[in-house]
Chain A
Amino acid sequence: MISPILFWFVAFITVIPALALMFARKPVHIAMAVVLVMVGLAVSYVALKAPFLGVVQIVVYTGAVMMLFLFVLMLVGVDKRESLKETITGQRWIALALALGVGALLITVVSRLSFSVSEEPSEGTPTEVAYWLFGDYVLVVEVLGFLLITSAVGALALTHVPRLFPKRTQAEIQSARVAAGADPVNKAFPGVYARHNALDAPALDPDGNPIEDSVSRVLKVRHQAIDGSEFKDDNKARRRELGAKEDEA
């Protein structure tokens, strides 16, 4: 028989998180609460001599289904506020009354029946489940295979977005940039190499003059760039040292 402590534990970790579905605000919290519900149900399956189903419950529901829910929540945006404006007057109370009615009806019906509990239940091991799945129910298993393939294709078809414009190639992007007036080649890199290896110094052109465009605009606005002129004469001196003629520089 099932220990009462186990039952009340399972009841606690399924019903309390399930209430989050109705009262919690954030969808991610609700998804995690439902994960807890699924784990509780897995525990109850194991307690009801269905260990295979318990494991499948954890793998399929907490591992696949609820993670899929989380992915979709991320896709559509976690922060989406739920509108609480009622489009049908009194919908909230009608819905609550209906749900309570369904619950009360189910509980009354079950309480009016008497059940005999089998003393020698099946063990629900993978071997036993497989024996039945691929024995008496093999046709159902094959139909379910078709169903799964169909649903996978259906999901692909539903989420597929046809391309409205042909994809732009790299050459087309580049020619569009040049047509818009951009420099076809890269800007000069900043830094006067070997003497001031940093982003704040402009590059020097062949005449030794600083190239303004080579320093980041942000550094200039912040007055953190140096003008590079102190390297100019230095550069000439270096070139003279290296044997270059004065008129060349």
Chain B
Amino acid sequence: MSPVNFVYLASVLFAIGAATVLLRRNAIIAFMGVELMLNAANLTLVAFARMIGEINGQIMAFFVMVVAAAEVVVGLAIIIAVFRARQSISLDEPSELRG
């Protein structure tokens, strides 16, 4: 079975992650959707690295993982700060910010 199938799998996972970000109101769940999208991108990088036969794609995937870890730390800190301020992590609430 060709590694291309993993690229299809990554496409499906990316679409599911995108749907989660657009559909869910809970900030933490939406954030997990973002993580799923990042992982789908990682899977394509690794699959293409396998097809090309060079390791550069894997290195890129490794960097994406590091950036994702940093992003999770800051993102969850922001969620906690928002929760402290308004006792809610619904993504609809901050819409009060508009004029």
Given the contacts A87-B92, A129-B58, A148-B70, A37 and B36 also touching, CB distance less than 8 Å = yes
A30–B29 touching, CB < 8 Å: yes
A14–B9 touching, CB < 8 Å: yes
A22–B51 touching, CB < 8 Å: no
Interface of B is mostly: helix
Alpha-carbon separation in the docked complex, A99 to B18 (Å): 6
Alpha-carbon separation in the docked complex, A48 to B2 (Å): 10
In the bound complex, residues from chain B placing their C-beta under 8 Å from that of A64 are 69
Interface residue from B33, B42, B63 paired with A140 (Cβ < 8 Å): B63
Alpha-carbon separation in the docked complex, A151 to B68 (Å): 11
Count of chain A to chain B residue pairs whose CB atoms are closer than 8 Å in the complex: 236
In the bound complex, residues from chain B placing their C-beta under 8 Å from that of A73 are 28
In the bound complex, residues from chain A placing their C-beta under 8 Å from that of B26 are 27, 80, 82
B55–A132 touching, CB < 8 Å: yes
B residues 38-80 in Cβ contact with A at 8 Å: 39, 42-43, 46-47, 49-56, 58-59, 61-63, 65-74, 76-80
Given the contacts A3-B1, A53-B58, A76 and B83 also touching, CB distance less than 8 Å = yes
A44–B20 touching, CB < 8 Å: no
In the bound complex, residues from chain A placing their C-beta under 8 Å from that of B61 are 50, 53
Alpha-carbon separation in the docked complex, A18 to B22 (Å): 15
In the bound complex, residues from chain A placing their C-beta under 8 Å from that of B49 are 48, 50, 121-122, 124
Given the contacts A22-B20, A49-B50, A151-B70, A159 and B7 also touching, CB distance less than 8 Å = no
Least CB distance from A20 to B in Å reads: 10
CB-nearest residue of chain A to B16: A18
A96-137 Cβ-contact flags toward B at 8 Å (1 or 0) = 101110110011001100011111111010001100110001
B83-96 Cβ-contact flags toward A at 8 Å (1 or 0) = 11000111010010
A154–B83 touching, CB < 8 Å: no
Alpha-carbon separation in the docked complex, A75 to B79 (Å): 11
| A11 interfacial by beta-carbon distance below 8 Å | yes
Given the contacts A22-B23, A106-B14, A107-B8, A122 and B55 also touching, CB distance less than 8 Å = yes
Which residues of A are interface residues toward B (Cβ below 8 A)? 1-4, 7, 10-11, 14-15, 18-19, 21-22, 27, 30-31, 34, 37-38, 41, 44-45, 48-50, 52-53, 56-57, 60-61, 64-65, 68-69, 72-73, 75-76, 80, 82-85, 87, 91-92, 94-96, 98-100, 102-103, 106-107, 110-111, 115-122, 124, 128-129, 132-133, 137, 140, 144, 147-148, 150-152, 154-155, 158-159, 161
Which residues of B are interface residues toward A (Cβ below 8 A)? 1-9, 11-20, 22-26, 28-29, 31-33, 35-36, 39, 42-43, 46-47, 49-56, 58-59, 61-63, 65-74, 76-81, 83-84, 88-90, 92, 95
List 25 A-B pairs, Cβ < 8 Å: A2-B2, A2-B5, A4-B1, A15-B12, A21-B36, A27-B26, A38-B39, A53-B65, A57-B42, A61-B35, A65-B68, A65-B69, A68-B76, A72-B80, A80-B89, A82-B25, A99-B18, A103-B18, A117-B51, A118-B50, A118-B52, A121-B50, A132-B59, A155-B77, A159-B77
